């Protein structure tokens, strides 16, 4: 299997969203959120470093599906606006 170049990622996200559909990927996002919550709980409550690998894996899974959801037209503009607002608020909070 050939390794994808990072500049190819946006096209893969678009193709996956078209292939699976918006509703299926929204459900997938919910599943990935749950899995990340579960491994974060294990990693930090049990103070067991072996779970950090699982945390990284679940972050990657969630990020991939979120990148797809951000490309849904009805979400895209609102996402960009909200991200800017929230990052500005964070910058104010931390003195940036």
Q: What pLDDT score was predicted for residue 48?
A: 75
* 23: its two tokens: 């509703």
Residue 71 falls within a domain, yes or no? yes
pLDDT for position 91 = 96
Q: Does residue 2 fall inside a structural domain? A: no
DSSP per-residue string spanning the chain: -PPPPGGGHHHHHHHHHHHH-HHHHHHHHHHHHHHHHHHHHHHHHTT-THHHHHHHHHHHHHHHHHHHHTTSHHHHHHHHHHHHHHHHHHHHHHT-
Does residue 45 belong to any structural domain of this protein?
yes
Identify the pLDDT of residue 93.
Answer: 97
Question: What is the span of the domain harbouring residue 63?
Answer: 8-94
Spans of the chain, pLDDT less than 70: none
Number of structural domains, the chain?
Answer: 1
52, 44 contact by CB (below 8 A):
no
Say if 37 falls within a structural domain.
yes
Q: Is residue 64 part of a domain?
A: yes
Whether 3 is covered by a domain: the verdict is: no
Residue 1: per-residue pLDDT: 76
pLDDT value at residue 30: 98
The pLDDT of residue 2: 85
List of residues 6+ apart from 12 with CB closer than 8 A: 4
């Amino acid at each position: 299997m050939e390794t994808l170049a990072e500049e190819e990622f946006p096209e893969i996200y678009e193709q996956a969203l078209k292939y699976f559909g918006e509703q299926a990927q929204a459900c997938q996002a919910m599943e990935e959120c749950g899995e990340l919550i579960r491994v974060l709980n294990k990693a930090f409550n049990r103070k067991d470093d072996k779970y950090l690998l699982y945390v990284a894996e679940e972050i990657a899974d969630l990020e991939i599906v979120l990148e797809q959801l951000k490309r849904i037209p009805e979400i895209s503009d609102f996402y960009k606006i909200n991200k800017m607002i929230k990052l500005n608020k964070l910058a104010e909070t931390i003195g940036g």
